[in-house]
Structure 1
Amino acid sequence: MIARAPPSADQQLEFLTKLQRLFAEGDFTATYKFALLIALSDLAVELGADDGAELSLATRQIAERFVQLYWRHALPFGTGQARATPGVLVQNLGVQAAVLTAIEEFRSTSSSTTLQQARREVAYGLLLAKVAAVVSAQPLTYLQNFGGITDPFIYERPGRGIVVLKPNVAYCLRRFHPLVQQLARNHWVGHVKANRRNHGILGDAGDLEDFLFGISRQSLAIIGAGLRKLDGPRCFYCGQGLHEGHVDHFVPFALYPRDLAHNFVLAHPQCNRSKSDSLAGKGHLVRWLERLTVRSPQLSEIGAVAGVVTDGEVAHRVAAWGYANAHAAQGRAWVKASIYEAIDLGYLQRLANP
């Protein structure tokens, strides 16, 4: 991969304009295209760089993200909801989405209760191959069709099983990741709600977005118990003992809405609410980086039991991306209630040399 200068402001605006047109003028018969945009933007953050270089991805990498995104969707929604009939949500205007069907079939014969357990099964490779074939034939083929034309402004496909994000695209997906995620997720929720076959399943439910993209209460409880055992019954931020602890995303979920085991910490409800969607101050970052190195195996074990992604290197790269973006925007980091500090070069140096 050859480094290139970052895109100009005009080039970034052109990308956003075309992305807006894609959402407005694209044909969305299933939720696949939303999943593809989420997957590509996540992979750009985790594997790309802040320059204008191309980024080569394997279709199988994208398929892995599809399985992660749709894994929980293969379970019935609506249990215990008012005027709702529990069932698997339909995510295609025709027959059920093939990705969901493949996951349902895998789960029906698997003894695994979490995705992390499932990945160790021989049959998981077959599931991934099926999903990769669907991703290749459908969203990767049709995503860039909108307004009656094909405009390959995001990626090209130079060979079998390879997708190459075009120059400047990885940078833009990194730079505008929260916006891309919000647009894709909002349209995904709207698509599911608009499908008439889902009306009886949804009933009066108001937690559809949480079901589609959030972490289950069971997984959250497992993570909380694991963090309490690992770090002790004290708040990660203020260091004081706690009776009731909240599981907090160190790099805020609003900034990077993907659950990573190594990104979780236990916090006082007050500290958690005060920090909210802010990045944490330098003192907190230093301790988090040390913990990432020293306790990575234990965090991986907690994530494996809870069924969330376990990858300390990815968590580190996500943090480096988040703080670099904040530094470029002259952002400020949360230290404690009502106290913030500028995100200076010292933050980036810490992340470069943990």
Structure 2
Amino acid sequence: MASVPPPSPEAQLSFLAKLQRLFAEGDFTATYKFALLIALADLAVELGADDGSALRLATRQIGERFIQQYWRQSLDYGTGRAGALPGVLAQNLGDQAAVVTAIKAFRARTGINMPWQAARHPDYRALLSKVTQTVSAQPLKFLQNFGGGNDPFLYERTGPGQLVLNPGVAYCLRRFHPLVQQLARTHWVGHVKSNKLNRGILGEADDLEDFLFRISRQSLVAFCAGLRKIDGDNCFYCGGALREVDVDHYIPFSLYPRDMAHNFVLAHRACNRSKSDMLAARRHLERWLERTVKRGDDLAEVGSGAGIVGDGPTILRVAAWGYESVRKSGGRAWVSPLRFEDVGVECTSLFDG
């Protein structure tokens, strides 16, 4: 199949302008639309290509992402917080969001605490069906309504359980992924904070964004212990013995804000802070790719026990996208404190095998 040219610079600017209008002029009575934008952006990175082709998706795929996004948000927030009463945060201006209610009922019925364990339970199919129906009937139907009209600039519904991202949309979602994520998450946090139903739960909240979108500290501690058994007690980057240890996102969270087991490495706090939001240089990439392939099953198992998704093929596609994006923008990679190098084809070619 012939490659489709990427959208022109003018078309990309038009996409951003419409996205801005969607946030400014859209009707957001619940957080579903923010979750949908995050899901579409993630799926574009993981399944799309750097050309202008359309991308076919199943609504079931989006339903799975909704379960992952809302899983932790079906837990009580505010436990032990002064001036706050523990409770599940309202994601809707009226009755609690149906997705949250369905997940909470599933958890109470099955006793399952980890979303990746949930998929193995016989009742998961019914949960996924219910969530997918909600997604189809609500955010997928109404997301592209803004400014008093409907502008299907993102996708078209092509049949029961199917949609297609319009030509050029997957490319734009991939290119502007950090921006889309930041906009959606910022508005999501703002929506939850401004909802009067949450006032008694939030109190003086200062960690709301972490609660909504990051893995819990308890899960991270459990994963760190398992990661030590796989990788040992040395910093992934400099090789020195670990004393104060950080669990670092190899592909920076700022670039791709989704926690995945294969993307975590153990690092010195100093190395982690120095690397910050940068990609790592080729010497690190080569070892990370080898580790991801050779120890992939071990990483998935440790991640499952800590409630962190393990998906080696997906994180490899994400990494290929990340390095190619930074290469095209003329970005640099982190070698060690105060040492950097260009991201060139010698990095991106490592994903061709």
The TM-score with structure 2 as length reference comes to 0.99
Q: Which residue of 1 aligns with 2:126?
A: 126
Say yes or no: does 1:98 pair with 2:103.
no
Deviation (angstroms), 1:223:
1.2
Say yes or no: does 1:330 pair with 2:323.
no
Q: Which residue of 2 aligns with 1:40?
A: 40
Question: Structure 2: any 5+ residue segments left out of the alignment?
Answer: none
Q: Which residue of 1 aligns with 2:300?
A: 300
Identity of aligned residues (%): 63
Q: How many residues align?
A: 353
* Distance in 1 between residues matched to 2:47 and 2:161, nearest whole Å: 17
* Distance in 2 between residues matched to 1:283 and 1:237, nearest whole Å: 9
* Distance in 1 between residues matched to 2:351 and 2:238, nearest whole Å: 22
Q: Which residue of 2 aligns with 1:231?
A: 231
SS at match of 2:123: helix
Say yes or no: does 1:15 pair with 2:15.
yes
Deviation (angstroms), 1:116:
1.1
Q: Which residue of 2 aligns with 1:148?
A: 148
User: Deviations 1:34-85 (Å, cap 9, x if unpaired)?
Assistant: 0000000000000000000000000000000000000000000001112100
Contact residue 44 and residue 170 of structure 1 kept, 8 A: yes
* Distance in 2 between residues matched to 1:330 and 1:186, nearest whole Å: 28
More off after superposition, 41-50 vs 241-250: 241-250
* Distance in 2 between residues matched to 1:341 and 1:146, nearest whole Å: 44
Q: Which residue of 2 aligns with 1:135?
A: 135
* Distance in 2 between residues matched to 1:255 and 1:81, nearest whole Å: 31
* Distance in 2 between residues matched to 1:295 and 1:264, nearest whole Å: 12
User: Deviations 1:282-310 (Å, cap 9, x if unpaired)?
Assistant: 00000000001110010011111011111
Contact residue 82 and residue 205 of structure 1 kept, 8 A: no
* Distance in 2 between residues matched to 1:215 and 1:24, nearest whole Å: 29
SS at match of 2:253: coil
Q: Which residue of 1 aligns with 2:160?
A: 160
Q: Which residue of 2 aligns with 1:253?
A: 253
More off after superposition, 107-116 vs 144-153: 107-116
* Distance in 2 between residues matched to 1:141 and 1:117, nearest whole Å: 30
Deviation (angstroms), 1:2:
5.7
Deviation (angstroms), 1:163:
1.1
Map 1:177-196 onto structure 2 (within 5 A). 177-196=177-196
Q: Which residue of 1 aligns with 2:24?
A: 24
Question: Structure 1: any 5+ residue segments left out of the alignment?
Answer: none
Deviation (angstroms), 1:205:
1.3
SS at match of 1:56: strand
* Distance in 2 between residues matched to 1:97 and 1:214, nearest whole Å: 20
* Distance in 1 between residues matched to 2:93 and 2:278, nearest whole Å: 39
Q: Which residue of 1 aligns with 2:109?
A: 109
Deviation (angstroms), 1:113:
1.9
Deviation (angstroms), 1:111:
2.4
Q: Which residue of 2 aligns with 1:317?
A: 317
User: Deviations 1:258-298 (Å, cap 9, x if unpaired)?
Assistant: 01110010000000000000000000000000001110010
Amino acid of the structure 2 residue aligned with 1:300: A
SS at match of 1:122: coil
* Distance in 1 between residues matched to 2:310 and 2:164, nearest whole Å: 26
SS at match of 2:265: strand
SS at match of 2:248: strand
Contact residue 2 and residue 53 of structure 1 kept, 8 A: no
Deviation (angstroms), 1:244:
2.1
Q: Which residue of 1 aligns with 2:201?
A: 201
Map 1:82-97 onto structure 2 (within 5 A). 82-97=82-97
Runs of 4+ in 1 over 4 A off after TM superposition: none
Deviation (angstroms), 1:117:
1.1
Q: Which residue of 1 aligns with 2:6?
A: 6
Deviation (angstroms), 1:137:
0.1
* Distance in 2 between residues matched to 1:351 and 1:83, nearest whole Å: 51
The TM-score with structure 1 as length reference comes to 0.99
* Distance in 2 between residues matched to 1:282 and 1:142, nearest whole Å: 44
Deviation (angstroms), 1:3:
2.8
Deviation (angstroms), 1:91:
0.5
RMSD between aligned alpha carbons?
0.7
Say yes or no: does 1:290 pair with 2:298.
no
* Distance in 1 between residues matched to 2:175 and 2:260, nearest whole Å: 20
User: Deviations 1:101-154 (Å, cap 9, x if unpaired)?
Assistant: 000110111122211111110101100000000000000000000000000000
User: Deviations 1:227-279 (Å, cap 9, x if unpaired)?
Assistant: 11111100000011112211000000010000111001000000000000000
Q: Say if 1:2 and 1:23 are closer, same or farther in 2 by CA, change over 3 A.
A: farther
